[in-house]
Chain A
Amino acid sequence: MRREPPRTLGDYLPILFPAGMLTIFFVVPFGTMIAVSFFQRQQGGFYTPAFVYDNYARFLSGFFGGVLGFSLMLAIAVAACCVVLALPFTYLLTRMARRVQVVWLVALLSVLSLSEVIIGFAWSTLFSRTAGITNILVALGLMGEAKALTPSFAAVLTGMVYQAFPYTVLVLFPALVRLDPTLTEAARTLGASPLRAFFTVVVPALRNTITATLIMVFIFALGSYLLPQLLGRPQHWTLSVLITDQAIYQSNMPFAAAMAVFLVLVTLGLVALTVIAGRKGEAA
């Protein structure tokens, strides 16, 4: 296939539609949000056009800084858990028979079809005292009496990992399928046990894929605002929860917009850092 830069206006036609949609539904709303973040808030839910830094200044308090820190930490924890669980899982899955692979992938895709609300309520039931999994442990004699596991940080983490796990598998799957199976066989003939072959060959050979997956799950988890409310205490609420709270319940659009913009900037910064660190590692 020949690749030439488009020359006439006609050459640009095919991208006009997607570019238009992107502009109308992404660039314009995002621009509006940036603008609103500088507006002056009026009591009673309105705001007037202005150019003030108040909204950003308010954000720089200890409380919101803490929430931002917690949100980032939670997203990183979710990304790390997902990749640590999904990498060996997907690796083993690619080695299975075609039919088994299809069954697993369909099951994972069906998890994707569940809404965040359903996932949240399902886990809060599973973690509850009256109907939760602790009752099974009691029945097995492993536990004295049933207890509630939610609300807690572990419950939030579990719910979010459950939600992001199928995405992680689907992103890792193509890369692992393409990985030459003779690489691990070669490692084994050279003296590495299957486990060591996995850690010394599969993981390093897939370093770039793993980084990309971590970033994807991280961003995915950063936007979560229902699960922390359903499964966590107020101290487990993420910045997204606060943004929703400000925008919908406190009717403070400018402040909500400012937080959203800040969150985007921090996220972009972290992703850029990761990519740069990855490049450096590549060069070394």
Chain B
Amino acid sequence: MSGLALQNVVKEFGSFTAVNDVDLTVPHGTFVCMLGPSGCGKTTLLRMIAGLDLPTSGSIGLDGEDITRVPTHKRNLGMVFQSLALFPHLTVGENIAYPLRIRSAPKEDQKKRVDELLSMIHLSGYADRPVSKLSGGQRQRVAIARALAISPKLFLLDEPLSALDAKLREAMQVELRQLQQRLGITTIVVTHDQREAMTMADTVVVMNGGEIRQAASPIEIYRRPADSFVADFIGQTNLIEAEADTSGRVTVLGQPVPGLQLPPAAAKAMLSVRPEEVRLTAPGAGALSGTVTFVRDLGGTIETFVDVAGRQIVAVSTPRARPQVTVGQQVGVALTPDVCVVLAR
């Protein structure tokens, strides 16, 4: 099979399990983002794919070949580190040529490839500069070019954009995605920034506590989160408890919501409702009634905080659809079944 395949991968550090029984298949040419809070095991998983850490058990396969025990330097991969790890004693060109020099490529080929890569990262003519003279974004690009110099089978990036400022980061996300699509290279990025994952990935892998909670396309993850952790971690959401009585009637925060159904045999569930799906109505007309506690007007979007039976629900709307509400006002919160994602509780 072409691509990367992880099977039952476990990594233990002493008594601590960093990665617990992970199965993951990455088809050739896909862009995967591993997303999760710090300490969720995503970097450890990446390091095992790179061969920098050995799994305690399980296997890692690349293009049908078992590479679990193959040393890093024989895996033919490219990796960009969080610190970038550019070699301070080498120039930009020498840094990019390093993997070619190690493989004893002829000098002319090295030079040709370096020029190619420099023009790809829009840094033509920078070959002889010391890396210390580059800006953050330029160093970033050099690290990417160095990792791609041998046209690796696998392109790994560990929080590659975290050192850049917000604007540059957004621009680099788009650039990185376009580059990956042009080269068609299997790419795995570790990040804790869900916007970054949504921007770049074909598949987002959400991890927590050393386990994969969900692996799916960004929009699938956003629209149909597998559990309340994923729902909460990806974007903003309202997590609301729901109960069903024996006749199947569902109540949310003590108020009945007609039309909503919980899975069979589930008396309790968690509803995930995205703030932009919450509609505010006149009091009484909606399913739930509550009190406006705060209005955050950010210009582009307006967030309205509503207190419903002690639980805070956030509604987001655009300025055009601006709800005419003030703090302290009684409002209705419309929860129609089509906007509620029912999760286990």
Contact = CB atoms under 8 A, between A and B. Distances in A.
Decide whether A and B are members of one complex: yes
Interface of A: 180, 182-183, 185-194, 196-197, 200-201, 204-205, 207
Interface in B71-92: 71-73, 75-79, 81-83, 85, 87-90
A188 B85 contact: no
B87 A182 contact: no
A186 B85 contact: yes
B150 interface: yes
B79 A200 contact: no
Given A185-B81, A189-B77, A207 B89 contact: yes
Contacts of A205: 87-89
Interface residues on B, range: 20 to 34
B72 A188 contact: yes
Given A189-B72, A189-B77, A200 B85 contact: no
A193 B81 contact: no
A182 B85 contact: yes
A10 B28 CA distance: 72
Interface stretch (B97-105, B185-193, B250-258): B97-105
B50 interface: yes
B254 to A, nearest CB: 54
Nearest to A206: B89
Contact of A182 (B51, B73, B81): B81
A185 B146 contact: no
Interface string B297-308: 000000000000
The 7 closest A-B pairs by CB, nearest first: A186-B85, A190-B99, A189-B79, A182-B85, A188-B72, A204-B89, A191-B102
B52 interface: yes
Nearest to B81: A182
Given A180-B83, A183-B85, A207-B89, A190 B52 contact: no
Contacts of B79: 186, 189-190
Contacts of A185: 52, 72, 81, 85
B73 A193 contact: yes
Contacts of B149: 190
Contact of A200 (B75, B102, B150, B156): B102
A187 B52 contact: no
A192 B102 contact: yes
Interface string B57-80: 000000000000001110111110
Nearest to B77: A189
Contact of A186 (B51, B71, B81): B81
A97 to B, nearest CB: 12
19 contacts: A180-B85, A182-B81, A182-B82, A183-B85, A185-B85, A186-B85, A186-B87, A189-B50, A189-B77, A189-B147, A190-B99, A191-B76, A193-B73, A194-B73, A196-B73, A197-B73, A200-B101, A204-B87, A204-B89
A200 B78 CA distance: 18
Contacts of A192: 73, 98, 102
Contacts of A201: 87
Contacts of B90: 204
Interface string B145-174: 011011000001000000000000000000
Nearest to A190: B99
Given A191-B150, A205-B89, 9 more contacts: A186-B79, A186-B87, A187-B98, A189-B50, A189-B73, A192-B73, A193-B71, A205-B87, A205-B88
A190 B89 contact: no
A189 B52 contact: yes
B48 to A, nearest CB: 13
Contacts of B103: 191
B78 A196 contact: no
B34 to A, nearest CB: 17
Interface string B236-268: 000000000000000000000000000000000
Contacts of B75: 189
A75 B83 CA distance: 40
A51 B192 CA distance: 78
Contacts of A204: 87, 89-90
A183 B89 CA distance: 11
A190 B72 CA distance: 8
Nearest to A182: B85
A30 B51 CA distance: 59
A235 B87 CA distance: 46
A8 B87 CA distance: 46
Contacts of B98: 187, 190, 192, 200
B321 to A, nearest CB: 49
Contacts of A188: 51-52, 71-73
Nearest to A201: B87
Contacts of A193: 71, 73
